[in-house]
């Protein structure tokens, strides 16, 4: 399919809220591609604390990878993060975000945002930082989506029910052109 015909679906939410797992399952279910979170790969390889330049580089590389995967997608492309997350992260950790992020968020708008609720148990790993601030970040992401009037659904539940809730959200928005 031509890239402009692909429905782009972003999964965003706090750390350890099941985004990666859900992305993989949805891509398999809909027989298409998904875009892993580049930040994880990048930060795991750093031998120092990340800085604001790293976050900006990560955001730009995430967009490039997504654009490449869009060419391989079939009806849907699932993204395991997007620029709202980078914007919120930059602002929270470094107290600023660059203007271009705001412009790109609007320009690269997704057909649907699946906002994952932090109702799963925290799973510790080396790149996660905020086990006690997941509700805080959930609210920030929700506010960012609402102020832009983007299509979204909150995804909650565990196991198969969480997956079914995501599939039902996609079907609700009738993205099967």
- pLDDT tens sequence across 115-171: 999 999 999 887 888 999 999 999 999 999 999 999 999 999 999 999 999 999 999
C-alpha atoms less than 13 angstroms from C-alpha of 13 in its C-beta half-sphere: 25
- Provide CATH code, domain 3-172: 3.40.50.300
Please report the pLDDT score of residue 126 as a whole number: 79
7 has a pLDDT exceeding 80: yes
Q: Give the model's pLDDT for residue 116.
A: 98
In this predicted model, which residue has the larger pLDDT, 126 or 78? 78
How many other C-beta atoms can be found within 10 angstroms of the C-beta atom of residue 149? 7
- N residues, the chain: 177
Domain boundaries, the chain: 3-172
Report the alpha-carbon distance of residue 9 to residue 109 in Å, rounded.
9
16-70 pLDDT tens trace: 999 999 999 999 999 999 999 999 999 999 999 999 999 999 999 999 999 999 9
């Amino acid at each position: 399919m031509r890239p402009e015909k692909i429905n782009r679906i972003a999964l965003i939410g706090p750390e350890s809220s099941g985004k990666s797992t859900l992305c993989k399952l949805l891509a398999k279910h809909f027989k298409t591609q998904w875009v892993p979170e580049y930040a994880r790969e990048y930060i795991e390889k750093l031998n120092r604390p990340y800085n604001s330049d790293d976050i900006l580089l990560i955001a730009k590389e995430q967009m490039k990878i997504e654009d490449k995967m869009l060419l391989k997608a079939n009806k849907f492309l699932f993204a395991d993060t997007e620029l709202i997350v980078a914007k919120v992260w930059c602002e929270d950790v470094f107290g600023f975000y660059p203007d271009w992020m705001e412009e790109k968020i609007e320009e690269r708008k997704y057909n649907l945002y699946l906002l994952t609720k932090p109702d799963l148990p925290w799973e510790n790993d080396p790149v996660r930082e905020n086990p006690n601030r997941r509700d805080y970040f959930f609210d920030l992401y929700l506010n960012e989506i609402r102020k832009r009037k983007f299509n979204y659904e909150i995804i909650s539940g565990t196991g198969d029910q969480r997956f079914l809730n995501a599939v039902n959200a996609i079907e609700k928005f009738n993205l099967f052109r």
